[in-house]
Structure 1
Amino acid sequence: MKKASILMIIGPLFLLGLYVFPLWNIMLGAPQYPDPLGLNIHINGLQGVNEFDIQNIDGLNHYIGMHTLPKVEDMWEFGTFPIIIGIMVGLGVLIGILGFLGKLSYKWFLGWFALMSLMGILGMYDFNEWLVDYGTNLDPNAIMKLTNPDGTPMTYKPPLLGHVKMLNFDVTSLPATGAWLMFLGMMLTLAAGYFGWKSKKIKT
């Protein structure tokens, strides 16, 4: 159980990487942009991969009626997510310490993993809903009003995960460093639950 508890203490600490590294990355490449435009999505705001990427993306979006990229004050998530991550890190470390002292069983390790997984799924759902609104709620007075072959208005929702072709842009959306650190931390807590269960099984 000691080994499992140590893993449980270490695992949540990897989530602290979310305060430093982006959670997600969206890249837009086109012939007129030899250097693709990039957007890093952090838990507390958006940043361009390069200095003027956000301005250039907003400029392109203006022509087709998409909203400007949200600032920190425009989305409640940017204020709430850092708090939630901090709480989950503190809770995970506390559970690990109490497990090390023999006060809690390995089931608490798995409980933390399940809760964090649920919150991750809800976060991805919320992110996708934002992408849907961002790509479909267009300004009717936009300079360019493009339609699909069937006559319906064209939408520009970036992919949640993977690659799509939008007009002459190749748009790729993938997890960034912060997401991989979070995944690694969660796998360590899952391993903590497994080793805790194995230790309990051996004793019985």
Structure 2
Amino acid sequence: MKKASILMILGPLFLLGLFFFPLWNIMLGAPQYPEPLGMNIHINGIRGASEFDIQNIDGLNHYIGMRKLPKPEEMWEFSTFPLIIGGMIALGVLIGMLGFFKKISYKWYMGWFVLMSVLGILGMYDFNAWMVDYGTNLDPNAIMKLANPDGTPMTYKPPLFGHAKMLNFDVTSLPSTGAWMMFIGMMLTVAAYFMGWKNNKSQKPKIN
């Protein structure tokens, strides 16, 4: 049980990477830009992949009526997500320590994983909803008003995951370092659960 508890303590600590590395990355490439433009989505704000990327993206968006990328104080998520992640780290470490001293069952490890998974899904849903609003709620007085072949206004929602073609831009949206660290940490908690389950099973008396 102690080895499982140590894994349970280590797993949530990997989520600390979210405070130092981006969670998600969106890159925009086009022939007129030798170096692609990019933005890194952190749990506390959006930053350019390079120094002037945010300014350049906002400049392009202005022509088609998209709003400027939000500053941290303009979205409640950027102040709430760090608190949620910090709380989940503290909770996970506490569960691991209580398991180490045999105060709780290994089943709590899976409980933490399920809760973290639910929060992750809700976070992705919220992120996608923001991108839908960001790419479809356009300024009717924009300099460029483009339409689809059927006459409906063109939208510019970036993909949540993968690649999409938007005008002459190739847009790629993928998890970044922070997301992969979170994934590794969550998998460690799953491993801790199964290790605890296996240890518990081996200690049960066998009936002849």
Alignment TM-score > 0.5, same fold: yes
1:31 aligns with 2:31: yes
Alignment of 1:25-174 (within 5 A): 25-174=25-174
Corresponding residue number in structure 1 for 2:201:
201
Cα distance between partner residues in 1 of 2:73 and 2:80: 11
Cα distance between partner residues in 2 of 1:170 and 1:110: 39
Cα distance between partner residues in 2 of 1:103 and 1:58: 53
Q: Which consecutive residues of structure 2, in runs of 5 or more, have no partner in the other structure?
A: none
The Cα offsets for residues 88-131 of structure 1, whole Å up to 9 and x where unpaired, read as: 00000000000000001111000000000000000000000000
Cα distance between partner residues in 1 of 2:3 and 2:37: 45
CA positional deviation for 1:86: 0.4
Runs (4+) off by over 2 Å:
none
Cα distance between partner residues in 1 of 2:159 and 2:67: 17
CA positional deviation for 1:132: 0.2
Cα distance between partner residues in 1 of 2:25 and 2:88: 23
Q: Which amino acid aligns with 1:26?
A: I
Q: How many residues align?
A: 204
CA positional deviation for 1:42: 0.2
Percentage of pairs with the same residue: 78
CA positional deviation for 1:135: 0.3
Corresponding residue number in structure 2 for 1:11:
11
CA positional deviation for 1:200: 0.8
Cα distance between partner residues in 2 of 1:195 and 1:147: 56
Aligned partner of residue 27 in structure 1, secondary structure: strand
TM-score normalised to the size of structure 2?
Answer: 0.98
Aligned partner of residue 36 in structure 1, secondary structure: strand
Q: Which consecutive residues of structure 1, in runs of 5 or more, have no partner in the other structure?
A: none
